[in-house]
Amino acid sequence: MTTHSKIDRGGLVLTLAAQGIWGFSPLFWKLLAAVPTVQLLAHRTLWAVLILAVFLTLRAGWREVRRAVGEPRTLATLGVSTVLIAISWSVYIWAVVAGQVLQASLGYYLNPLVTVLLGVLFLHERLNRAQVGSLVLAAIGVLVLIWRQGELPWISLVLAISFGLYSLLRKTVRAEAEVGLFIETSLLSPLCLLYLVHAARVGQGAFGSQELRVDLLLVASGAVTAVPLFLFTRGARRMPLTTVGFLQYLGPTLQFLLAVFVFDETFTGGHLAAFVLIWVALGLFTWDLRRRWNQQQSGLIPG
């Protein structure tokens, strides 16, 4: 990632494209609402493996794959992260199809704050006052939503916690994002393939039994998985940390707008209160991130 604060136009375009794909992805998954969630996960995984394999071949990345697979600790860590990303993908797809995009967007808003909390719990990182304030405001927002709705926003919490744990594990792995994702999807692929073969044998497979449009969309699910990751990792390296952190809120914001104005999901006063508190928390979090970045660039704190 760049070590200066100047905005690189190419990096900005790549990062915005990635967030745009993630933000508008509910529109894509809605088109596949007739396909069972587990089958969507299986197709998403298998086609992503193929796309990532082509990409790794083009960039001569197989040496790094062999290195990562040859390290038992790295492979074990990626094995656990595979389970977490499978949970995250499954719950997200189910949420979109079930008309719970609002809860999904809340989960991704919470994710940066959950990641900070996990850093404290597992990496013994220390929080400053602004970070503590952000976490407290976010927690109050979730409690308000529970109180007003009378139920736990489990979709939001599962997405935030599973992806937060996933990010925590991937932080300890010495591998490029696309290399790690290729290994994860490869580990998941045998189960996905067995499941799809079984579904086809009992006459429940979606691929090849419905319209050609469905088949093409299932193939495209691999690109929806791999392409934004490629764009984001390439763009983030050319951008200041604070800018990348701020742009990461674009995806859930687009999902939020889709949920309220396109999918017409119920948006109550409880939702409004919770989202406002979380938006304020994220604003405080982003302000503190930018402040510390500026201090680091000026040499006031160590890099």
CB 262 within 8 A of CB 22: no
Measured in whole angstroms, the distance separating CA 217 from the mean position of its chain's CA atoms is 20
User: Is 229 a residue whose pLDDT tops 50?
Assistant: yes
C-alpha distances in angstroms, 283 versus 9, 88, 95, 138, 292? 24, 25, 26, 11, 14
User: Has residue 266 got a pLDDT over 70?
Assistant: yes
How far is CA 128 from its chain centroid?
26
Render pLDDT for 136-166 as a digit per residue (tens, 0 to 9): 888 898 888 888 777 788 999 999 999 889 8
Tokens 């905005």, residue? 7
DSSP state of 219: H
Number of domains observed in the structure of the chain: 1
The answer to whether residue 95 sits within a structural domain is yes
- pTM of the complete model: 0.84
Neighbours of 88 (CB within 10 A): 21
CA–CA distance, 105 with 263 (Å, rounded to integer): 13
Which residue range(s) make up the domain with 51? 9-297
Helices and strands (H, E) in the chain, number of each type: 12, 0
Q: Nearest CA to 145 among 200, 185, 105?
A: 105
Tens digit of each residue's pLDDT (9 = 90 or more) over 98-107: 999 999 998 8
User: CB pairs under 8 A, 24+ apart, for 143-149?
Assistant: 144/270, 144/273, 144/274, 144/277, 145/106, 145/270, 145/271, 145/273, 145/274, 147/270, 148/268, 148/269, 148/270, 148/271, 148/273, 148/274, 149/268, 149/270
Structure tokens at 97: 């199809």
Q: Which DSSP state fits 1? A: -
Inform me whether the pLDDT recorded for 242 exceeds 60: no
Is it the case that residue 303 has pLDDT exceeding 70? no
In a domain, 2, yes or no: no
Residue 1 lies in a domain: no
Distance CA 248, CA 201 (A): 42
- Residue 200 included in any domain: yes
Give the phi and the psi of residue 58 in degrees, each rounded to 5: -65, -35
Pick the closest to residue 106 from 152, 60, 168, 74 (CA basis): 152
Residues of the chain with pLDDT > 90, as a percent, come to 42
The closest of 218, 167, 164 to 192, measured between CA atoms, is 218
Residue 71 lies in a domain: yes
Quote the CA–CA distance of 101 and 267 in Å, as a whole number.
Answer: 11
- Residue 251 within a domain: yes
Contact (Cβ atoms closer than 8 angstroms) between residue 109 and residue 250: no
- Say if 137 falls within a structural domain: yes
Asked if pLDDT for residue 2 goes beyond 60, the answer is: no
Burial class for 302, CB neighbours closer than 10 Å (0-12, 13-18, 19+): exposed
Alpha carbons 168 and 111: distance in angstroms, whole number: 11
- The answer to whether residue 149 sits within a structural domain is yes
Q: Which of 236, 240, 237 is nearest to 292 (CA)?
A: 240
How much is the pLDDT for 297?
Answer: 63
Torsion angle of alpha carbons 255, 160, 277, 248, nearest 10°? -50
